[in-house]
Chain A
Amino acid sequence: MSDRILKIEKGDLLQMAVQKKMDGWRLAQICAVTIDQAYEMSYTFVKDKDMETLRIHLQPKEPIISLTQIYPCAFLQENEAAELFGVLIENITMDYKHKLYRIDVKAPFGPKEDASWQNEA
């Protein structure tokens, strides 16, 4: 049983996700974390008892491509990261455009500057 976290470059994500899928790994979770004024995105894959996480560091406003073209099941978790953290995720196949949760504040879990965004209402 292995359990490791690999730090990768943003540009390598799609290629590595395709390779994971071809090797029979299942996308288990996507997690966003706010670190200072930036983000950390973790993509965890599971195959039998093995678990591996790909880790990307993102600057605020730095877009990242969606994994839904490779793993369609990623849509809920990507929408959640976009809405709660303000991560810019491009080309989600089922994009809720920040309407997944009925919340009044934009990116409430995001960097502090984002958390202070005012509700238009």
Chain B
Amino acid sequence: MAKRSIIPFGPQHPVLPEPIHLDLVLEDEVVVEAIPNIGFVHRGLEKLVETRDFKQYVYVAERVCGICSFGHGLGYCESVEHVMHIDVPKRARYLRTLWMELSRIHSHLLWLGLLADALGFEALFMQSWRLREKVLDIFDNTTGGRIIFSVNQIGGVLKDIDASMLKEIDTILYDMETDLKPIMDTFLEDMLVNSRLRGLGVLSKEQAYLAGAVGPMARASGIDYDSRETGYAAYADLNFGPITATEGDCYARCKVRLAEILQSFEILHELISKIPGGDINVPVKGNPNGECFIRIEQPRGEAIYYTKGNGTKYLDRFRLRTPTTSNIPPMLDLLKGCQLGDVPLLILTIDPCISCTER
């Protein structure tokens, strides 16, 4: 008869970039149940909306998470603008989309580096992060910040990018595509990487849907859904579609993220060729009065932003449902039946962001 035991995993663990604790119930080396425990970095940021001017809160929203910083600022601004019926200038919407797609590339490259590190492939880790640095340099050159750059504001953006800089970004992106090719080949074709990822942590399409998976995790299981198709920012003007895979394993999750980086390059080239001139923001008059839910496709998946205003400068409520909140339940499904040694890799492939989740 198998011996049953419980192993505490996390919140501090070499493979975990952020703190989540799991009680792993094992039968010999096989996980039969995983009980999650979060709450180590809860900061009560949603509550701050009641004591900060709705324009000031953009800076709080951006600090929900370091990796998705720009996206959270965008989601908050879009939701307030929706409530206030603000027509954001087209150029501002294109600039937001540009920074959002660069954020997606930077997030996926960061994840690829962490994956390589978890596999013990140090050179691949360093190459992935070397490439990511180029995106951070673009952020630095266009906004003055590398991680949290505070260019969103209600009614548009704070900074413009001139034509010569856009051309330079376009050139850098082409160079990055060339640099990504060998990294991509290694992730997808290297025997050691393949042997570690293929067939591991399979999540069927039905399981993913019922458990509420979102983002690359859902798309790697064949769910054809990408909330960018709802058309916020400038996405309605751009040609793209959800990238999916059918295998549903760790390899598929890696493959989808790599393909999404290439897709972001294409979106950015199209965007730079189409970006219109004009203003980058409009003056905002009055205070938000009303409510709305909107969806934004963060690098980790769909995030939902809820804003409720009461006609004063302080909002009644701001709510953020992050992608990781939705991806933890399917992760628990993945862990059931896996080997103890595979747990770190399975957790990593959902690309968890606990800082976002706890807010």
Contact = CB atoms under 8 A, between A and B. Distances in A.
Interface of A: 1, 3, 5, 26-29, 31, 33-35, 42, 44, 46, 48-49, 51, 53, 71-73, 75-77, 94, 99-103, 108-109
Contact of B321 (A5, A28, A99, A103): A28
B230 interface: yes
B209 A72 contact: no
A26 B210 CA distance: 7
Interface of B: 35-36, 38-40, 42, 44, 46-47, 209-212, 225, 229-231, 291-293, 295, 302, 304, 306, 308, 316-317, 319, 321, 325-326, 328-330, 358
A101 B329 CA distance: 17
A83 B111 CA distance: 32
21 contacts: A3-B292, A5-B291, A5-B293, A26-B209, A27-B212, A28-B304, A29-B293, A29-B319, A29-B321, A29-B325, A33-B308, A42-B293, A49-B229, A73-B329, A76-B325, A76-B329, A77-B325, A101-B38, A102-B42, A103-B42, A103-B44
A49 B241 CA distance: 13
Nearest to B40: A102
B329 A53 contact: no
A77 B329 contact: no
A26 B212 contact: yes
B128 to A, nearest CB: 30
B42 A28 contact: no
Given A42-B306, A73-B210, 20 more contacts: A1-B230, A5-B291, A27-B212, A28-B302, A29-B304, A29-B321, A33-B308, A48-B225, A49-B229, A71-B212, A72-B210, A72-B211, A76-B38, A76-B329, A100-B38, A100-B39, A101-B39, A101-B42, A103-B39, A103-B42
B57 to A, nearest CB: 16
Contacts of A72: 210-211, 329
Contact of B212 (A48, A73, A99): A73
B33 to A, nearest CB: 11
A100 B349 CA distance: 23
Nearest to A4: B293
Given A49-B230, A76-B329, A31 B321 contact: yes
A29 B227 CA distance: 15
Nearest to B325: A76
B308 A73 contact: no
A3 B78 CA distance: 15
A76 B328 contact: yes
Contacts of A31: 306, 317, 319, 321
Contacts of B306: 29, 31, 42
A102 B316 CA distance: 24
Contact of A108 (B44, B210, B295, B302): B44
Contacts of A29: 293, 304, 306, 319, 321, 325
B358 A101 contact: yes
Nearest to A68: B329
B83 to A, nearest CB: 13
Q: Which 8 A-B pairs give the minimum distances between C-beta atoms?
A: A73-B329, A29-B321, A101-B39, A73-B212, A101-B42, A31-B319, A29-B304, A33-B317
A27 B295 CA distance: 14
A16 B247 CA distance: 33
* B209, B225, B231 — most chain A CB neighbours (10 Å): B225
Contacts of A28: 212, 295, 302, 304, 321, 326
A51 B212 contact: no
A44 B329 contact: no
Contacts of B40: 102
Contacts of B329: 72-73, 75-76
Contacts of B210: 72-73
A99 B306 CA distance: 25
A41 B96 CA distance: 32
A105 B42 CA distance: 13
Contacts of A27: 212
Contacts of B293: 3, 5, 29, 42, 44, 51, 53
A19 to B, nearest CB: 16
Nearest to A77: B325
